[in-house]
Structures are given as C-alpha cells and as structure tokens.
C-alpha cells in the first residue's frame, strides 16, 4: 500500500496532468477556444438547454392515423377484388386496428384467403365458422412499419428544421415512436411547432363535376368528399373529387413562396421529370375540367385546367398570408411527414435564465469547494492539504471526463458536481480517521498508515459503489434533468475514488520519503 512502482507514479501523474489540461478549455469562451491551434485541447463541456437557453420538444409519431390509412386502403382493395371475383360479403369495415366482414358463402374462405394474401402478405386472417372474418397486421409487420415511419419522420423533421436555419439542432428517436428535438438558442418555438404541426401531404386530384357535394348516399364509387378551403369557399364548403391521385407531392423538387398576378401570396412549385410528365398527360386529357390541389385532406385550391401544363411548374393561389405561403413552401420543399406528430412535451428556457443558472450554479460550487477546503484544513491540518489538493484534481478530472465524453452539463448536473465534492472528501476522512485510530492504538507510524489505507479501502469501495448503483438507475430510468444529474454524480464517484485513493496516497508516500518524519501531524 505504501509502495508505488515507477510506472504507477507516471500513470497517476499523467492522468492528473491530462485532467488539468483538458479542463483548461472550459475556462474560456467558446469563440476563443475555436481559434486555438489544433494541437491544443479544444473540447468543452456542452451545456444543456437549461443553461444555454433553447427549446426541447418531444413529439410522438401518431401511428394510429397511419394504420387507419392503411386499413382504408385494404378496404378499397378488398371491395375491388371481391367485385371482380364475385364474392359476396356484408359489413365490411375497419374497426380500430383491424378490418372485419362476413362472407355470404363461408365455403369460399380459401378463395378469400388467397385474395387477402395477394392484397397484402402482412395481413393475418382469422375466420369464424359462420363466415365472419377479421384481418389484422401481424406484429412483425407493424413493428417494421413503425420503424420505417419513425425513421422517415425524423428525416423529414430534420430537413424542415434545417430549412428554418436553426443552428446545431439535435433530433433523435426516443423509445419506439417518439422524436426528441433540442434546439439551442430557440427562444420561441412557435414557428418550429407550426411547421411540424402539419404533415403537408399534397396530391393533385380531378374534381368530379357530375357529383353533387353534400349527397353522401349517391357518391359514385372512386370519389370522395373533401372540405374546400380555398379563397372563395364558404366555411364548411365541400367538394367531390376523384380518389385517384393524378400526381402526388413527393414528385416535387422545389417550392417557393411568391405572389400571383394580383399581388396575393402564393406558392410556386416545380415537379421532377416523372411528376412533370404525369402532370402534363393528366392536364392534357382534362382541359376544361377542374383539378383539386389537396393538402392534408382538404382542397386548398381547385383551378380550371385551361391548357395542358407541360413545363412541370405551377403556382398555388388560395387564401394564403405571406407567412402561411412561406410555411407551406418550406414544408413542400422538405417533404411530407408520413404521419402526424403530436407534441407531448415542450420546455423552453430563455438565454437570460440560462445565464443566471450558470452563475448561480458556479457560485454555489465555488462556495462549496471553498467551504470544504477550509473545513479539511481546519480539521486535518497538514493532511487536510493533501486532501484538498486531491479534491482540486478530482474537480479537474470530472470536468475533463465530462468534456471528453461530450456529456451535457445541466443545472442539476452542476448540483451533482457540488454534491460530489462534499462527498469526495469522505474517502479522505475515512482514511485519516482510521490512521488516527491506529496511531492511538500504539502502532508505529508506517504500519498505522498501511493499516489506514488498507482497512479504509474496502469501506470506501463499498460506499462508492452503492452511490454508483443509484447513479446508474437514475441514468437509465430518469429523463432530462435527472439524467444530467446522474451523469455528473456517477463520473464524480469514479474520479473521487481515483483521487482519494491514489492521489492522496501518492502525496503522503512522497512526503514520507522526502522528510522521513518521526510523528504525523494528524
């Protein structure tokens, strides 16, 4: 315990040196550090949103709407298939997460099974004896779809956020179906929330002029009634359009906010080659008719086709303000979200409060350090100095580890640092108390020191490990502030184990060698 091989001394000193060196960038402003030459350490502790200011948004991808949409497609597909195969059925409908219907001729069940399989292999079919059939997506398929939808959503969210010019956004999946957005510096997330608030699914569909809106019972097959929200549509107005999509919005390559010939805000769009060709063909064969521009299941404009539109470009006019035109253009450029996003949580901290929190946290930590340092000096004198030096290295090692890991420092995290400093000297207290005890027991100096370190080690190890257990649980089960706290607490436990055991011991051993004292001032 009192012998340090050369390599260990070197290692300890190297770690301490590295800790100090890597702490240094944290003492300077970020802009200053960025100008430093590359050989200097430049990693800083990244500050959490509660310290630097910004917005945290938690969204859930609404899978139900995706499921409903898919089930409705299945319904359409089944109707079509049953009609061509002349299979009789009743009560075909989507209910919750499944499709149900009853066969008129239950003996044709195998035929139905084949039809369903062809329609969508992911469907699981359960058939009752009376011809009652339910169709459900199997779990594997559902999970796969969810994975895809969430991945796509994250991609689209990222593109939309990038379009807003937010710097250093963090966009991450959380759990199975959630997306976390961290937007540093965003003080008012209203705009972000608005542009994420719509899926912006756009399609171009033909208007069915022959069908009267409002008469649901005589709606021709293949048509649907949609709300009409263009500039002259009265509130509650509807329009009948064909379900078949002429061209869909995913073939758009660009969209910009602009003004129409009357100076009203409008959105200009451009198709890719496939979209342009399809749009050209569709408009060519439907001159004189109206087509509907459908956005999120509402018709925002229904202009008359005067001539074939072959250039692959168009303009949407309607009831836009310049803001909403901008938003729509942005959403169309970035692409449609595969499913609506539901906001679950929002936390925004202004930069002033963040700065205040940093000051308060730093002040509290500094006061804590000073108090603990003085306390140790008062109660342990010269040996207290050893503990204090170890404590300073401990602080540096914590900061260095946080910088190195790229961990995020939050306000509770700062509390964790202050608290760890208070707890870190416990190891020294244990060693020193033991030392005093052994000396009182009449042991020689060397053997007292030996016993002090040795006996205290087990205790220190046990007590640190139990704190680490609590830290790990907080990290894995906690969220946000709790996580930030858990990180600093756990790192602090490890570094204080190192500093109290090795750094303190090394100091004492070196001092013993140099001065060869007869008694210990403790």
Judged by CB under 8 A, the chain residues 180 through 199 that form the site for other proteins are: 188, 190, 193
Q: How far is CA 98 from CA 64, 103, 118, 238, 432, in A?
A: 11, 16, 17, 29, 70
Closest approach of other proteins to the CB of residue 436, in Å: 8
Closest approach of other proteins to the CB of residue 60, in Å: 8
Site string for other proteins, 490-519 (x = CB under 8 A): ------------------------------
Size of the site for other proteins (CB under 8 A): 86
Interaction of residue 473 with other proteins, rule CB under 8 A: yes
Parallel, antiparallel or unpaired: strands 123-127 and 132-137: antiparallel
**Nearer to other proteins among residue 242 and residue 463 (C-beta):** 463
**Nearer to other proteins among residue 315 and residue 353 (C-beta):** 353
Interaction of residue 348 with other proteins, rule CB under 8 A: yes
Helix (H, G, I), strand (E, B) or coil at 492: helix
Closest approach of other proteins to the CB of residue 68, in Å: 16
Interaction of residue 433 with other proteins, rule CB under 8 A: yes
Helix (H, G, I), strand (E, B) or coil at 44: coil
Find the binder of other proteins among 111, 163, 281, 437 (CB under 8 A): 437
Interaction of residue 361 with other proteins, rule CB under 8 A: yes
Residues between 39 and 58 with contacts to other proteins, criterion CB under 8 A = 50, 58
Closest approach of other proteins to the CB of residue 3, in Å: 10
Interaction of residue 337 with other proteins, rule CB under 8 A: no
**Nearer to other proteins among residue 9 and residue 522 (C-beta):** 522
What CA–CA distance (Å, rounded) separates 345 from 58?
5
Find the binder of other proteins among 77, 213, 280, 480 (CB under 8 A): 480
**Nearer to other proteins among residue 275 and residue 361 (C-beta):** 361
Interaction of residue 204 with other proteins, rule CB under 8 A: no
**Nearer to other proteins among residue 75 and residue 423 (C-beta):** 423
Interaction of residue 381 with other proteins, rule CB under 8 A: yes
Interaction of residue 343 with other proteins, rule CB under 8 A: yes
Closest approach of other proteins to the CB of residue 248, in Å: 27
Q: Which residues of 460-499 are buried (b: 16+ CB within 10 A; e: fewer)?
A: beebbeebbeebeebbeeeebbebbbbbbbbbbbebbbbb
**Nearer to other proteins among residue 53 and residue 169 (C-beta):** 53
Q: Are 344 and 484 in contact (CB under 8 A)?
A: no
For 308-357, the DSSP string reads: ---SSEEEE-SS--HHHHHHHHHHHHH---SS-EEEEEEEEE-HHHHHHH
Closest approach of other proteins to the CB of residue 110, in Å: 44
For 55-120, the DSSP string reads: EEEEEEE-HHHHHHHHHHHHHHHHHHHHHHHT--EEEEEEETTEEEEEESSGGGHHHHHHHHHHH-
Site string for other proteins, 70-99 (x = CB under 8 A): ------------------------------
**Nearer to other proteins among residue 60 and residue 230 (C-beta):** 60
**Nearer to other proteins among residue 140 and residue 378 (C-beta):** 378
Interaction of residue 522 with other proteins, rule CB under 8 A: yes
Interaction of residue 462 with other proteins, rule CB under 8 A: yes
Find the binder of other proteins among 486, 491, 497, 508 (CB under 8 A): 486
Interaction of residue 264 with other proteins, rule CB under 8 A: no
Q: Are 365 and 51 in contact (CB under 8 A)?
A: no
What CA–CA distance (Å, rounded) separates 97 from 423?
54
What end-to-end distance do the CA atoms of the chain give, in Å? 19
Interaction of residue 423 with other proteins, rule CB under 8 A: yes
Binding part of the chain for other proteins, among 107-115, 288-296, 325-333, 346-354 by CB under 8 A, reads 346-354
Interaction of residue 177 with other proteins, rule CB under 8 A: no
Count Cβ atoms within 10 A of the Cβ of residue 197 and give its class: 0-12 exposed, 13-18 middle, 19 or more buried. middle
**Nearer to other proteins among residue 219 and residue 429 (C-beta):** 429
Helix (H, G, I), strand (E, B) or coil at 165: coil
Q: Which residue has the tokens 């749009």?
A: 279
Q: Strands, DSSP E only, in 138-198? A: 170-174, 178-184
Interaction of residue 447 with other proteins, rule CB under 8 A: yes
Q: Are 13 and 30 in contact (CB under 8 A)?
A: no
Find the length of the chain: 522
Residues between 396 and 415 with contacts to other proteins, criterion CB under 8 A = 411-412, 414-415
Interaction of residue 68 with other proteins, rule CB under 8 A: no
Interaction of residue 372 with other proteins, rule CB under 8 A: yes
What CA–CA distance (Å, rounded) separates 434 from 429?
8
**Nearer to other proteins among residue 218 and residue 516 (C-beta):** 516
What CA–CA distance (Å, rounded) separates 81 from 93?
15
Find the binder of other proteins among 364, 389, 509, 512 (CB under 8 A): 364
Binding part of the chain for other proteins, among 245-253, 256-264, 289-297, 443-451 by CB under 8 A, reads 443-451
Interaction of residue 469 with other proteins, rule CB under 8 A: yes
HEC string for 214-239 = CCCCCCCCCEEEEEECCCCCCCCCEE
What CA–CA distance (Å, rounded) separates 19 from 399?
8
Find the binder of other proteins among 46, 319, 467, 507 (CB under 8 A): 467
Parallel, antiparallel or unpaired: strands 252-259 and 238-248: unpaired
């Amino acid at each position: 315990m009192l012998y340090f091989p050369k390599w260990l001394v070197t290692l300890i000193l190297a770690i301490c040196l590295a800790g100090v060196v890597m702490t240094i960038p944290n003492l300077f402003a970020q802009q200053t550090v960025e100008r430093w030459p590359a050989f200097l350490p430049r990693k800083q502790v990244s500050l959490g949103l509660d310290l630097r200011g910004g917005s945290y948004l938690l969204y859930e991808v609404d899978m139900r709407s995706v499921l409903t949409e898919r089930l409705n497609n299945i319904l359409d597909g089944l109707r079509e298939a049953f009609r061509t195969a002349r299979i009789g059925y009743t009560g075909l409908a989507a209910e919750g997460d499944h499709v149900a219907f009853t066969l008129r001729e239950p003996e044709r069940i195998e035929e139905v099974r084949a039809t369903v399989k062809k329609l969508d292999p992911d469907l699981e079919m359960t058939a009752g004896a009376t011809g009652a059939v339910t169709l459900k997506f199997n779990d594997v398929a559902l999970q796969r779809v969810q994975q895809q939808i969430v991945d796509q959503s994250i991609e689209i969210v990222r593109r939309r956020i990038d379009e807003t010019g937010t710097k250093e956004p963090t966009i991450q999946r959380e759990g199975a179906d959630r997306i976390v957005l961290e937007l540093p510096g965003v003080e008012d997330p209203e705009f972000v929330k608005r542009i994420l608030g719509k899926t912006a699914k756009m399609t171009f569909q033909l208007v069915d002029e022959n069908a009267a809106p409002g008469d649901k019972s005589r709606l021709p097959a293949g048509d649907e009634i949609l709300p009409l929200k263009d500039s002259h549509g009265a509130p509650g107005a509807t329009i009948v359009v064909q379900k078949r999509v002429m061209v869909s919005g995913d073939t758009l390559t660009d969209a910009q906010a602009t003004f129409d010939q009357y100076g009203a805000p409008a959105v200009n769009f451009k198709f890719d080659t496939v979209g342009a060709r399809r749009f050209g063909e569709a408009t060519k064969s439907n001159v004189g008719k109206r087509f509907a521009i459908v956005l999120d299941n509402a018709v925002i404009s229904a202009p008359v086709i005067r001539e074939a539109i072959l250039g692959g470009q168009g303009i949407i006019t309607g009831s836009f303000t310049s803001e909403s035109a901008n938003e729509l253009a942005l959403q169309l450029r970035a692409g449609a979200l595969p499913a609506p996003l539901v906001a679950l949580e929002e936390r925004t901290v202004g930069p002033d409060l963040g700065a205040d929190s940093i000051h308060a946290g730093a002040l509290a930590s500094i006061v804590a350090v000073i108090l603990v340092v003085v306390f140790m000096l008062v109660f342990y004198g010269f040996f207290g100095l050893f503990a204090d030096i170890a404590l300073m290295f401990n602080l540096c090692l914590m900061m260095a580890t946080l910088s190195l890991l790229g961990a995020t420092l939050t306000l509770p995290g700062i509390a964790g640092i202050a608290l760890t400093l208070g707890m870190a000297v416990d190891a020294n207290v244990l060693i020193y108390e033991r030392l005093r005890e052994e000396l009182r027991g009449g042991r020689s100096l060397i053997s007292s020191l030996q016993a002090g370190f040795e006996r205290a080690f087990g205790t220190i190890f046990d007590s640190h490990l139990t704190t680490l257990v609590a830290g790990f649980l907080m990290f894995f089960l906690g969220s946000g502030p709790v996580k930030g706290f858990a990180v600093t607490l756990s790192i602090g436990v490890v570094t204080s184990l190192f500093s109290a055991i090795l750094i303190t011991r090394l100091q004492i051993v070196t001092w013993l060698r140099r001065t060869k004292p007869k008694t210990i001032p403790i």
